[in-house]
Amino acid sequence: MIANAKNSDDVPAIKVQHLTVSYGPVPALLDVSVEIPQGKLVGIIGPNGSGKSTLMKSMLGFIKPDVGTVDIFGTDVSQVKGRVAYVPQRGSVDWDFPITVREVAAMGRYSYRRWWQDLKKEDFRLADEALEKVRMSDFKDRQIGQLSGGQQQRVFMARALAQDADILLLDEPFAGVDAATERAILDVLQETKEAGKTVVVVHHDLGTAAEYFNLIILLKQRLFGFGTPRQVLNQKLLSDVYEGNLKVFAELARHPSDEVDGG
Amino acid sequence: MADSMAEFFTELQLNYGYLIRPLIVGTLVSIVCSVVGCFIVLRRMAFLADAIAHSMLAGVIGGYLLMKVFYQQDSNLTAMLIGAILAGILTVAMVGFVTKFSRVKQDTAIGIMYTGIFAFSAFFISLGSVSKYIQIDIYHFIIGDIMAVDNSELWLLAIVASIVLPVVILFYRPLQLTTFDPIMAAAIGVPVMAVEYLLTACTSLVVVSGVQIAGVILVVALIITPAATAYLLTDRLDRMIITSAIVGVLCFWLGFVVAVFLGTEPGATIVVMMTGVFLGGLVFAPKYGLLADWIRKSNTVPQEMMEDVLGCVLRAKGKSVPVTEVLKHIKKPAPRVRKSITMLERQGLLDVDNDKVLLTDDGRFQAKKLVRAHRLWETYLDRTGALPKEKIHDTAHLLEHISDEKTVEYLDDKLGHPVTDPHGSIIPNDSELVVGKDLLLSVLRDGNRATVVKTNGVAASSDLKVGEQITMGPRTDGGQIWVVVTSAGEKLSLTHDEVDAVVVRLLEDT
């Protein structure tokens, strides 16, 4: 594994302590504590409605917890601005919004300018570079609804890249994209990780989780497991979380191909 | 010349001078409403704006009565304005309260609250004891009386415009970002709730000052309709805002002039004008209009038709087919079939030469995949017995277009990888047999040779060693049993489950 100057700093990238969030009488998250070290590719997995997105939104400071704290590099998330970039779930975006591909990518630069300031040429250059990286340059002036699912996902990847944040959070980036796009997104995530950044991905597919991530957070309202795929993807934990649907996982637990982990 | 010019203007001033103030005020109202309206439309808050406009009647009455009863002042504008703003905020708060603390959803809460508050106001002022003090004309509240504006209202509007427009310009990016992606906004430190309150405050300000002058209907229409029209015409928020303002002002002027000449109610005339312009946009907008949509649709050829053409050419077994023959087989309008042929040629699936078509290698591959899907569907329909025999072919013909890899794979596996369909025709599986790729043993057909890559520990297949070369023999037992010939010449009879447990790599020339 590539040693990175940034990684020598051992403040955790994200530190969640005793996080409880509720929307009604039933908590969406209950007493979740987890420390995500820097420079790792981390998957958040769990069944539908297990609080994966809620955990992510808390890490972004969008949801105020009932109890608990989220620290980003040792600072409370509400005080942190722009160090976390976010790629939304495709279903939660208004694709009819009057905005072009380039404008979305340029949003990544908003955190670098005061709210009343206009974006500078430099910002658009960086946005264009980010679009180039995800091979979306040819679609710059398209309205975002006029793209295929995979292309839409890549536009938001470009936005995150343009933001050049230390932490990248992605909500179900692989849902509904073709295999080629999945590969392309994964490559960008790997590169981002190798550049010393921390990448956290809400992920649905248990089958690919072991292959994709260094660390896995297994969630179902409570934290059921956190560690390397080998540690987490065992029959016992999975059966606790996914009661009943075990046929698939028996196969999975047999050969998790996680890489040897340094951290 | 100059004289007559001056004369003309004097005349104009004498005859139409009373129109100048309403025109200026109307222009201001139109600009402010249609600019703020863009954000309201994009945030799906249109109904809330409507509610604020209606329920402010309560505040107007409250302010009026307060000044009248305690200070003996008639129609104190400031008090009525403050009352109206308070009523607006109260409405928003009550809607928020009901939405948050009950299972009633927001649109329902809005509907209940604003009709309730509005009706209560109307009920209240029609009480005998109250109507002594107050003369508020509900009709004018609704429909407005733009001709009767006075200077104080002009000033009020000028102030509102000079607050709201700079706010929109200064806060353009926070407004855009919180509307489009509030989560990212929060992540980069934009105070999402504060921005929302700011927008609600601006909306209340615009609505309250506007309703005094133009009436509920005109203000609500000015907020929603130009913005919605601009939404159909543009792809960028900045352009949408400018377009919306232009549409709003133009409609106002046009409606105003028409109203003056026809002697109709100006407010109503302007709203009719705006609605007409919106409907025009709905039909004729260059990109998102119904007409553009229709033209686009009629220019594209459905995937199914292209697939039908491929299937038709495949049946010629490698010979080229005259286009006229294709047209005869596919019972669809000839120009569209011709268009699908052109599209297929462009995609490199067909060669067209002298009005004859020939499948390319790619085309044959695709066509075989289709035939595979068709025959698997036929087999499926036949086995499930869900359909009468004579309907199977036609239904399979419709279903074959559902030919994504996963569906076809599922069918194939479920049916036990059949070799022939119910009519005895071979189900092609060339698309599956990729040389050098890891495959399940079950997809191999008679004569295929392969190396064993992995055996997943199913009992009978333990006779197969990894690295061993095998040849597939013909299926027996009605296709239920796979016969595998090992390198030593031994014949193994394997069941579906057993062959599914073995991964092989296909060898060339098989």
Q: Do B180 and A82 touch (CB under 8 A)?
A: no
Domain co-membership, A97 together with A76: no
Question: Which tokens is B467 given?
Answer: 């690295």
* A98 shares contact with chain B (CB less than 8 Å): yes
Domain co-membership, A51 together with A126: no
- What's the CATH number where A259 sits? 3.40.50.300
| Average pLDDT of the segment spanning A111-136 | 90
Domain co-membership, A95 together with A72: no
How much of chain B, in percent, has pLDDT values that exceed 70? 97
* CATH class of the domain defined by B303-359: mainly alpha
Domain co-membership, A77 together with A94: no
pLDDT surpassing 90 at residue B369: no
| Average pLDDT of the segment spanning A180-202 | 89
- Domain count for chain A: 2
Domain co-membership, A21 together with A37: yes
Which of B170, B187, B239 faces A62 most closely, judged by CB atoms?
B187
Which of B183, B235, B237 faces A62 most closely, judged by CB atoms?
B183
Domain co-membership, A148 together with A260: no
Q: Evaluate whether residue A136 is within a structural domain.
A: yes
139-198 in chain A: CB under 8 A from chain B: 143, 159, 163
Separation in Å, CA of A215 to nearest CA in chain B: 23
- Give domain B438-506's CATH superfamily: Ferrous iron transport protein A (FeoA) (2.30.30.90)
Q: In the 8-state DSSP scheme, what is residue B150?
A: -
Query: pLDDT of B143-160, one tens digit each?
Result: 788 888 888 888 888 999
Q: Do A88 and B181 touch (CB under 8 A)?
A: yes
Q: What is the pLDDT of residue A7?
A: 41
Range of the domain at A100: 88-164
Whole-angstrom CA distances from B32 to A181, B179, B265, B326 are: 44, 19, 22, 61
B234 CB neighbours in chain A (<8 A) are 98
pLDDT surpassing 70 at residue B390: yes
Which of A57, A61, A98 faces B234 most closely, judged by CB atoms?
A98
Instruction: Give which of B473, B459, B469 is closest to B501, Cα–Cα.
Output: B459
Q: What is the pLDDT of residue B179?
A: 95
Instruction: Give which of B169, B194, B224 is closest to B45, Cα–Cα.
Output: B224
Separation in Å, CA of A89 to nearest CA in chain B: 11
Q: How many CB atoms lie within 10 A of CB A127?
A: 26
Lowest mean pLDDT across B187-191, B312-316, B370-374, B445-449: B312-316
Query: pLDDT band for position B201 (50/70/90)?
Result: confident
Count of residues in chain B: 510
Query: pLDDT band for position B167 (50/70/90)?
Result: very high
pLDDT surpassing 90 at residue B169: yes
Q: Evaluate whether residue A188 is within a structural domain.
A: no
Q: Do B180 and A99 touch (CB under 8 A)?
A: yes
Domain co-membership, A54 together with A29: yes
Q: Do A62 and B190 touch (CB under 8 A)?
A: no
Which of B189, B190, B231 faces A98 most closely, judged by CB atoms?
B231
Q: Do A86 and B236 touch (CB under 8 A)?
A: no
Q: What is the pLDDT of residue B252?
A: 95
Q: What is the pLDDT of residue B235?
A: 92
Query: pLDDT band for position A70 (50/70/90)?
Result: very high
* A222 shares contact with chain B (CB less than 8 Å): no
Domain co-membership, A146 together with A169: no
| Average pLDDT of the segment spanning B370-395 | 83
Q: What is the pLDDT of residue A245?
A: 54
Query: Between these two residues, B423 and B161, which has the higher pLDDT value?
Result: B161
Q: From CA B101, how far away is CA A100, in angstroms rounded? A: 38
Given CA atoms B183, B184, B185, B186 in this order, what sign does their dihedral have?
positive
Q: Evaluate whether residue A191 is within a structural domain.
A: no
Q: Do A98 and B190 touch (CB under 8 A)?
A: no
Q: Do B189 and A111 touch (CB under 8 A)?
A: yes
Nearby residues of B216 by Cβ (< 8 Å), 6 or more positions away: B53, B54, B141, B142, B143, B144
Taking the model in full, what pTM does it have? Answer: 0.73
Which of A164, A186, A218 corresponds to the end of one domain?
A: A164
Query: pLDDT of A25-66, one tens digit each?
Result: 788 899 999 999 999 999 999 888 889 989 999 999 998 899
213-272 in chain B: CB under 8 A from chain A: 231, 234-237, 239-240
| Average pLDDT of the segment spanning B245-263 | 94
Which single residue is written with the structure tokens 């890891």? B438
Query: Between these two residues, B440 and A190, which has the higher pLDDT value?
Result: A190
* B182 shares contact with chain A (CB less than 8 Å): yes
Which of B42, B183, B235 faces A60 most closely, judged by CB atoms?
B183
Give the nearest chain A residue to B183 (CA atoms): A62
Q: Report the 3 state secondary structure along chain A.
A: CCCCHHHHCCCCCEEEEEEEEECCCCEEEEEEEEEECCCCEEEEECCCCCCHHHHHHHHCCCCCCCEEEEEECCEEHHHCCCCEEEECCHHHCCCCCCCEHHHHHHHCCHHHCCCCCCCCHHHHHHHHHHHHHCCCHHHCCCEHHHCCHHHHHHHHHHHHHHHCCCEEEEECCCCCCCHHHHHHHHHHHHHHHHCCCEEEEEECCHHHHHHHCCEEEEEECEEEEEECHHHHCCHHHHHHHCCCCCHHHHHHHHCCCCCCCCC
Q: What is the pLDDT of residue B85?
A: 82
pLDDT surpassing 90 at residue B363: no
Mean pLDDT over all residues of chain A?
A: 84
Q: Do A143 and B235 touch (CB under 8 A)?
A: yes
Q: What is the pLDDT of residue B408?
A: 83
B188 CB neighbours in chain A (<8 A) are 81-82, 110-111, 163
Per DSSP, the three-state class of B47 is: helix
Q: What is the pLDDT of residue B137?
A: 77
Query: pLDDT band for position B258 (50/70/90)?
Result: very high
Give the nearest chain A residue to B187 (CA atoms): A60
Q: Evaluate whether residue A26 is within a structural domain.
A: yes
HSE-up of residue B185 (Cα within 13 Å, Cβ side): 20
Domain co-membership, A136 together with A214: no
Separation in Å, CA of A121 to nearest CA in chain B: 16
Q: What is the pLDDT of residue A261?
A: 42
Query: pLDDT of A203-219, one tens digit each?
Result: 877 878 888 999 999 99
B237 CB neighbours in chain A (<8 A) are 97-99, 103
* B180 shares contact with chain A (CB less than 8 Å): yes
Query: pLDDT of A1-32, one tens digit each?
Result: 333 434 446 789 999 999 999 887 788 899 99
Domain co-membership, A66 together with A120: no
Q: What is the pLDDT of residue A6?
A: 44
Query: Between these two residues, B309 and B244, which has the higher pLDDT value?
Result: B244
Q: Do A97 and B170 touch (CB under 8 A)?
A: no
Query: Between these two residues, B181 and B355, which has the higher pLDDT value?
Result: B181
For residue B338, report the phi and psi dihedrals to the nearest 5 degrees.
-60, -40
Q: What is the pLDDT of residue A5?
A: 39
Given CA atoms B89, B94, B96, B97 in this order, what sign does their dihedral have?
positive
Query: pLDDT of B294-340, one tens digit each?
Result: 888 777 777 777 778 888 888 777 778 888 878 888 777 788 888 88
Query: pLDDT of B376-388, one tens digit each?
Result: 888 888 888 777 8
Select the residue from B181, B198, B454 to test the A interface by mutation, using most A Cβ atoms within 10 A.
Answer: B181
Fold of B42-214: ABC transporter involved in vitamin B12 uptake, BtuC (1.10.3470)
pLDDT surpassing 80 at residue B12: no
Query: Between these two residues, A92 and B69, which has the higher pLDDT value?
Result: A92
Q: How many CB atoms lie within 10 A of CB A175?
A: 16
Query: Between these two residues, B58 and B143, which has the higher pLDDT value?
Result: B58
Query: pLDDT band for position B131 (50/70/90)?
Result: confident
Domain ranges of chain B: 42-214, 217-299, 303-359, 438-506
| Average pLDDT of the segment spanning B452-477 | 75
Domain co-membership, A136 together with A260: no
Domain co-membership, A204 together with A74: yes
Q: What is the pLDDT of residue A259?
A: 41
Query: pLDDT band for position B1 (50/70/90)?
Result: low
